[in-house]
Amino acid sequence: MASPTATECDARHLERALELAQRARGQTSPNPLVGAVIVKHGNPIGEGFHARAGEPHAERIALASCTEDPAGATMYVSLEPCCHEGRTPPCTAAIAAAGIARVVIASGDPTPKAAGRGLGILRDEGVEVDMLGGDIAAAARLINQPFLKHARTGRPLVIFKSAITLDGKVATSTGDSRWISGEASRARAHRWRAELDAVAVGRHTADVDDPLLTARLEGVARQPRRVVFDSEASLAVSSQLVATAAEAPVVLVCSRAAARPAIESLRNAGVEVIIAAGENEPARLLAALDQLGERGVQSLLVEGGPHLAGAFFDAGEIDEARIFVAPLIAGGRRAHSAIGGQGVERIAAAARALSTSIERIDDDVLISARLREW
């Protein structure tokens, strides 16, 4: 609920805090994106954002950048300030010590170490605290969907990505799919890989395409974990993924039915193997997501193929879909569609997007659909 003291001025400064926060997109995991602005007598006197895990938080950077004494000022911060000692000291202590009179926050932090505790500590120190609602609060939550889902469920946010023809095909009847989307669309997908914690494919895609699944862009600070869902642990040790396991982490998810020699061979080659238990494929997929979450994976880009995509949809674990539609028509009854699995029996049961956006990328059209919000 919005505070009765919230104003258009508050919203404007929080919008600036959100802009700052997003400068570090893809750099802060497992920490959230956070920006802060300090305002005194109506004028900004300091600002900052959290650049990466282990470095100072946005609030402390904003305080350090102040051009005048921040005592009596208002701090605008996109996420509830931390109040626990971690790799960096608590921000609530720095805020109180600086004499900040008021803190305006766009989004709460649902993690057990926070969840309103920081707000209570600030109030106990005599700091006025307001939580803004409305559009700015929704925008603050959206930039931190991976962090919020992981905090609430322990699982990564799952984004499904695909490139399809106008008639909804991802490959011809022979399996040929290179290239449906254009070069600019493929570059966008590489940027997503760089921003997210992990990228996943199924065994068939790994065998047929022999992909690297790395983010091949200039200036990439880190490579995503590369995850292969392969129930039999049959990924070839000679594959590009295994061959580059020392350069970028590779995780293979298999079932308990996988042969022990195959598992040990992959482990000896530097692949981390997760054995997912469960009575059926959706149950094993959920168990795998739990284990990936335990390893700090907060965001997962599912790139294919149709079988894996169908398993995620059947398990109800797709949070967002990003579909490139190319100006091509493949035709053919045996051509492959984007999503396999069981699907739904009636249109009324189909997953409906909460929000959508459409963007033109050269000759392609990118349709993004948010299916769940956290």
DSSP-derived letter for residue 334 is T
Task: Indicate whether 313 pLDDT > 50.
Answer: yes
Q: How far is CA 238 from the centre of its chain?
A: 30
What is the rounded CA–CA span in Å between residue 198 and residue 247?
Answer: 14
Both 157 and 136 in a single domain? no
Both 123 and 159 in a single domain? no
Residue 5: pLDDT band with limits 50, 70, 90: very low
The bridge status of strand 225-229 relative to strand 198-202 is: parallel
Paired with 287 in beta bridges are none
- Ranges 11-25, 83-97, 150-164, 260-274: which has the least confidence: 83-97
pLDDT of residue 4: 41
pLDDT of residue 156: 98
Reduced to 3 states, what is the DSSP secondary structure of residue 267? Answer: helix
Of the three residues 118, 143, 168, the one that is the final residue of a domain is: 143
Digit-coded pLDDT (tens) for 146-183: 999 999 999 999 999 999 999 999 999 998 888 999 99
Residue type, 59: E
Of the three residues 86, 113, 143, the one that is the final residue of a domain is: 143
Both 133 and 43 in a single domain? yes
Tokens coding 205: 């895609």
Task: Indicate whether 86 pLDDT > 80.
Answer: no
Q: Is the peptide bond before 118 cis (omega within 30 degrees of 0)?
A: no
**Which structural domain range is residue 324 located in?**
151-370
pLDDT of residue 6: 58
Q: How many helices (H) and strands (E) does the chain have?
A: 12, 16
Q: Which residues of 180-214 are buried (b: 16+ CB within 10 A; e: fewer)?
A: bbbeebbebbeebbbbbbbbbbbbbbbeebebbbb
- How many folded domains does the chain comprise? 2
Residue 3 lies in a domain: no
Digit-coded pLDDT (tens) for 105-128: 999 999 877 777 888 899 999 999
Q: Distance between the two ends of the chain, CA-based, in angstroms?
A: 17
What is the rounded CA–CA span in Å between residue 283 and residue 261?
Answer: 25
pLDDT of residue 147: 96
Let me know if 279 is a catalytic residue.
Answer: no
Task: Indicate whether 17 pLDDT > 70.
Answer: yes
Which residue has 């482990």 as its token pair? 267
What is the pTM for the complete model shown?
0.91
Both 163 and 112 in a single domain? no
- Ranges 84-88, 285-289, 336-340: which has the least confidence: 84-88
Task: Indicate whether 221 pLDDT > 90.
Answer: no
Residues in Cβ contact with 148 at an 8 Å cutoff, skipping those fewer than 6 apart: 32, 110, 141, 374
Question: Average pLDDT in the 63-77 region?
Answer: 97
Q: How far is CA 187 from the centre of its chain?
A: 18
Q: At 239, which CATH number?
A: 3.40.430.10
Q: What is the mean pLDDT of the chain?
A: 93
pLDDT of residue 7: 82
Task: Indicate whether 2 pLDDT > 70.
Answer: no
Both 127 and 194 in a single domain? no
Percent above pLDDT 70 for the chain: 98
Give 313 or 84, the one with higher predicted confidence. Answer: 313
Reduced to 3 states, what is the DSSP secondary structure of residue 337? Answer: strand
Give Dmax (Cα) for the chain: 70
Digit-coded pLDDT (tens) for 230-242: 999 999 999 999 9
pLDDT of residue 8: 85
Q: At 20, which CATH number?
A: 3.40.140.10
pLDDT of residue 112: 77
What is the rounded CA–CA span in Å between residue 135 and residue 113?
Answer: 26
Both 169 and 262 in a single domain? yes
How many C-beta atoms lie closer than 10 Å to residue 314's C-beta? 19
Residue type, 106: A
What is the rounded CA–CA span in Å between residue 215 and residue 194?
Answer: 5
Residue 1 lies in a domain: no
Which residue has 């053919």 as its token pair? 332
Of the three residues 143, 169, 202, the one that is the final residue of a domain is: 143
Marked catalytic residue, from 59, 195, 281, 317: 59
pLDDT of residue 3: 44
